[in-house]
Amino acid sequence: MTAPTATSIAPPTSVSPTPRQVWTRTRGLVLALLLLIAAGIVLATAHSGAQHGRLDPRSADQHGSRAVAELLKDRGVSIRVATTLEEATTAVGPDTTLLVTAPDLLTPGQQRELRAATADSAGRTVLLAAGPPSVDTLAPGVRTTSTGPVAPRAPQCLLPAAHSAGNADTGGFRYTADGLETLACYPSGGLPTLLVVQEQASGDTALLGSADFLYNSRLDSQGNASLALQLLGSRPHLVWYLPSLADPSATGNSGDTDDSTGSEGADNDRSFADLIPSGWLWGTLQLAVAAVLAAIWRARRLGPLVTERLPVAIRASESTEGRARLYRKANARDRAASSLRSATRTRIAPLLGVSPRNAHSPEVLLPAVSARLSTIEGGLDTVLFGTAPADDAALVRLADQLDTLEREVRTS
């Protein structure tokens, strides 16, 4: 019972793959996966410059806006970056400029809320590239028409900022406003791409057809920097609103989740999950982990299923049974009766001393039977050589009569 002697000669019997085999099998897959990840990283770095950090005051990218933010800071304007609607609306005030970088990305509810906050604030609101989805709500009375190319354009208006800035890279959406007190600048094809709408309470809303002049890459050309500084630096505080998906007001019915509606709305919104203690939830989560482990435990089979080559199972009597059912279906009483009669005749002939050859001839068989039996119900010749039964009952009766006949021949 100690170390066996023949171990070194014994051929390996294991059929499980060795680690080397596992590595050989999976290395291609692993390599492909690594290549995929590497390609993904390379592609991401190569293409990230285009839109990453667009109009972000912290981004030094081509399309970032750190340059203008630095310039504004140098001029004593405090910049506060807001990513949620709540941050943006609480910060607005008479001495504040609110820059909305992507008004089209706001949901209708958010737009309404923003408009409600800015309308009476007496501050300035700058909307960059506000298109049809947002312009109706954020600047009532203003309509937008088709877009034009971004190109250096002359101000051609009385707005001091535009006037002193001179030519600037503008374009994009073009605006019209009827019946409002507006200043229209930088026209493209006759329609302005910069529209300043005077609001009540000394506030104003500036709509810009495109945001290109705020990009780091464009700020130094034309009068872009000047225009940006004057539009955004007119008040000591600047709220730089970058709409984001993390904003809770972007999801759900954001129009109602205002501060003022919190008390009554929250009670209705709290789901069942909010009401049960967190311990139960975490305990259940741990139980789910246990369930997964139990599933793994039960799912692992102790070796694969063993198959067996099964022999065919054909009943030898199948064709006879099939013939019986065919007779039944076709109501082949004549066939059935003749084969029953023939079988009985074959069986009784040797008992009566009739040769098998003559068993089916009435001239020989009938006298031999009548010599042994006096008579039988239905008549001997009818039972042994009669016509086909008229109905099923007659067939059943015939079978019984044949049985009786045979029994009597045997016992006589």
Partner 1 sequence: MALTGRTALLAALGSLPVGILAPSWTGMLAVNAPLSLAILCDYALAAPVRTLQFTRSGDTTVRLGDGAEVQLTVTNASRRRLRAHLRDAWPPSSWLTGTEQAASRHRLDIPAGERRRLTTRLRPTRRGDRRSERITVRSYGPLGLAARQGSHKVPWTVRVLPPFTSRKHLPSRLARLRELDGRTSVLTRGEGTEFDSLRAYVPGDDTRSIDWRATARQSGVAVRTWRPERDRHILIVLDTGRTSAGRVGDVPRLDAAMDATLLLTALATRAGDRVDLLAYDRRIRAQVQGRAAGEVLSAMVTAMAPLEPELVETDARGLSAAALASAPRRSLIVLLTSLDAAPIEEGLLPVLPQLTQRHTVLVAAVADPHIEQMAEARGTVDAVYEAAAAAQAKAQRQRTAEQLQRHGVVVVDATPDHLAPALADAYLALKGAGRL
Q: Would you tell me which residues interact with partner 1 (CB under 8 A)?
A: 1-4, 7, 10, 13-16, 18, 277-287, 289-291, 293-294, 296-297, 300, 302-304, 306-308, 311-321, 323-325, 327-328, 335-337, 339-340, 342-343, 346, 392, 395-396, 399-400, 403
Smallest separation, CB 96 to partner 1 (Å) = 39
- d(CA 265, CA 103) in angstroms, rounded, equals 27
- d(CA 340, CA 337) in angstroms, rounded, equals 5
How far is residue 93 CA from its own chain's centroid?
45
CB closer to partner 1, 184 vs 402: 402
Smallest separation, CB 251 to partner 1 (Å) = 23
For 130, residues 6+ apart whose C-beta sits below 8 A from its C-beta are: 100, 103, 104, 138, 139, 144, 173, 207
Q: Which two tokens stand for residue 194?
A: 């910069």
Smallest separation, CB 372 to partner 1 (Å) = 22
CB closer to partner 1, 332 vs 364: 332
> In terms of Cα–Cα distance, which of 193, 116, 139 is closest to 162?
193
DSSP state of 6: G
| DSSP letter string, 25-79 | HHHHHHHHHHHHHHHHHHHHHHHTTTTTTTT-TT--STT--HHHHHHHHHTT-EE
CB closer to partner 1, 146 vs 307: 307
CB closer to partner 1, 264 vs 392: 392
Smallest separation, CB 46 to partner 1 (Å) = 36
Smallest separation, CB 312 to partner 1 (Å) = 5
- d(CA 382, CA 369) in angstroms, rounded, equals 13
From start to end of 58-181, where are the E strands? 78-82, 96-100, 124-128, 142-153, 168-177
Smallest separation, CB 144 to partner 1 (Å) = 48
> In terms of Cα–Cα distance, which of 264, 265, 263, 260 is closest to 90?
260
CB closer to partner 1, 154 vs 340: 340
Q: Hey, is 143 helix, strand or coil?
A: strand
CB closer to partner 1, 76 vs 311: 311
> In terms of Cα–Cα distance, which of 367, 391, 394 is closest to 381?
367
- d(CA 136, CA 132) in angstroms, rounded, equals 7
CB closer to partner 1, 14 vs 268: 14
Smallest separation, CB 2 to partner 1 (Å) = 6
CB closer to partner 1, 176 vs 338: 338
Smallest separation, CB 380 to partner 1 (Å) = 20
Smallest separation, CB 350 to partner 1 (Å) = 13
CB closer to partner 1, 1 vs 245: 1
- d(CA 224, CA 407) in angstroms, rounded, equals 125
Going from the C-alpha of 21 to that of each of 25, 27, 30, 369, the distances in angstroms are 6, 10, 14, 87
